């Protein structure tokens, strides 16, 4: 038998065997069974997704919140808005499927900004944050009191709190290393004018000088450009607010609760007074004084016990929602 004949015979036998194999009933049954299993599993997965999606829709009820617009209040002037939140159904579904667990604790939310933002209110003073946001700020105006700064900074570190220090420009000029120390600890820096004047008695040119000189010395020393301005002693008029807003893109910040620590009341007095005023969105005015040094630790503890998150002024007046504790 020649090689060519052998090859031809092999091809014929192989082809016949292949035809028999393909037409053998058990093979067809196996393929059919596999296809049916895939269809059943696919249906089961889709049914599970549909069931879980329906459950997420039920869990949404009572958990979503509408955004709150910023408003100008007769007493508190500009009150920031507050973001709403809605459940992202598809992201929640994917998260639960990946975890293999279905629970309302795994719901994924997305924030919805208000229709009216703080920026849209224009040049308005700000005394507080939104009353729905559980945040509070113990802001500190600095023009003197260096001997208490280290202790105050250590107390803030102890509580893992970042706050806002409004710095007097002439103080930064005299004590650049102290200013750098505040910055290095991660705190927000604000503008507190240059020479602690009564701003509402100044002419337009002098108002500009007080703000701009402080901006310049803070930027030269710390390389930051403050976006918040706290007029010394809370003395201001609409001219001051307009100039800060239009010429320096700064918000004018006042306060909701005043420790009056410069009058040297007892720490117990300050703790009692301020603790009664602690609520969502409150801005507490302090200075680096012996009274505030002695009361800050307890004030921070009380704030946290009340469910308030001590933070910077910018965070308190932001419409952003706080992350869960």
pLDDT at 2 over 90: no
Task: Classify 85 as helix, strand or coil.
Answer: strand
Q: Residue 18: how many CA atoms within 13 Å on its side-chain side?
A: 6
Q: Angle at which helices 89-99 and 25-60 pack, to 10 degrees?
A: 120
Topology (CATH) of 123-317: TIM Barrel (3.20.20)
The pLDDT-based confidence of 29 (bands split at 50, 70, 90) is low
Pairing of strands 164-167, 135-142: parallel
Instruction: Give the integer Cα–Cα distance in Å for 76 and 148.
Output: 31
Instruction: Give the integer Cα–Cα distance in Å for 268 and 85.
Output: 40
What's the confidence (pLDDT) of residue 18? 46
Question: Could you report the per-residue pLDDT of 267-297, keeping only the tens digit for each?
Answer: 999 999 999 999 999 999 999 999 999 999 9
Average pLDDT of the residues in 98-102? 93
Instruction: Give the integer Cα–Cα distance in Å for 92 and 90.
Output: 5
Percentage of the chain beyond pLDDT 70 is 86
Instruction: Give the integer Cα–Cα distance in Å for 94 and 97.
Output: 5
Instruction: Give the integer Cα–Cα distance in Å for 209 and 147.
Output: 29
Neighbours of 75 (CB within 10 A): 7
Residue among 309, 304, 292 nearest 147 (CA) = 292
Pairing of strands 77-79, 71-73: antiparallel
Sign of the C-alpha dihedral, residues 100, 102, 106, 111? Answer: positive
Task: Classify 2 as helix, strand or coil.
Answer: coil
What's the confidence (pLDDT) of residue 20? 46
What's the confidence (pLDDT) of residue 19? 52
What's the confidence (pLDDT) of residue 11? 55
What's the confidence (pLDDT) of residue 39? 47
Question: Could you report the per-residue pLDDT of 252-273, keeping only the tens digit for each?
Answer: 999 999 999 999 999 999 999 9
Residue spans of the domains in the chain: they are: 60-121, 123-317
Average pLDDT of the residues in 145-157? 97
Residue among 152, 158, 160 nearest 182 (CA) = 152
Instruction: Give the integer Cα–Cα distance in Å for 237 and 133.
Output: 28
pLDDT at 181 over 80: yes
Question: Could you report the per-residue pLDDT of 188-231, keeping only the tens digit for each?
Answer: 999 999 999 999 999 999 999 999 999 999 999 999 999 999 99
Question: Could you report the per-residue pLDDT of 55-93, keeping only the tens digit for each?
Answer: 999 999 999 999 999 999 999 999 999 999 999 999 999
pLDDT at 53 over 50: yes
What's the confidence (pLDDT) of residue 40? 44
């Amino acid at each position: 038998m020649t090689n060519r004949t052998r090859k031809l015979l092999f091809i014929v036998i192989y082809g016949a065997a292949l035809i028999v194999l393909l037409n053998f009933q058990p093979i067809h049954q196996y393929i059919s069974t596999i296809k049916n299993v895939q269809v059943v599993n696919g249906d089961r997965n889709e049914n599970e997704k549909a069931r879980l999606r329906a459950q997420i829709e039920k869990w949404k009820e009572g958990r979503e919140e509408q955004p709150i617009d910023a408003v100008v209040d007769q007493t508190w002037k500009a009150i920031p808005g507050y973001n709403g939140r809605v459940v992202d159904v598809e992201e929640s579904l994917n998260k639960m499927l990946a975890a293999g667990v279905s629970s309302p604790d795994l719901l994924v939310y997305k924030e919805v900004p208000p229709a009216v933002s703080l920026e849209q209110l224009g040049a308005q003073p700000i005394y507080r944050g939104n009353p729905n946001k559980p945040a509070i700020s113990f802001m500190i105006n600095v023009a003197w009191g260096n001997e208490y700064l280290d202790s105050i900074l250590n107390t803030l570190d102890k509580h893992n709190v970042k706050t806002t220090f409004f710095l007097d420009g002439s103080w930064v000029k005299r004590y650049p290393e102290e200013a750098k120390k505040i910055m290095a600890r991660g705190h927000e820096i604000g503008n507190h004018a240059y020479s602690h004047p009564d701003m509402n008695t100044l002419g337009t040119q002098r108002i500009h000088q007080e703000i701009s000189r402080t901006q310049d010395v803070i930027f030269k020393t710390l390389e930051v450009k403050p976006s918040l301005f706290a007029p010394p002693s809370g003395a201001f008029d609409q001219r001051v607010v307009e100039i800060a807003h239009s010429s320096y893109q700064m918000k004018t910040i006042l306060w909701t609760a005043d420790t009056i620590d410069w009058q040297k009341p007892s720490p117990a007095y300050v703790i009692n007074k301020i603790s009664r005023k602690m609520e969502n969105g409150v801005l507490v005015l302090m200075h680096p004084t012996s009274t505030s040094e002695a009361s800050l630790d307890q004030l921070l503890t009380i704030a946290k016990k009340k469910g308030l998150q001590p933070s910077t002024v910018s965070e308190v007046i932001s419409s952003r929602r706080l992350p869960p504790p």
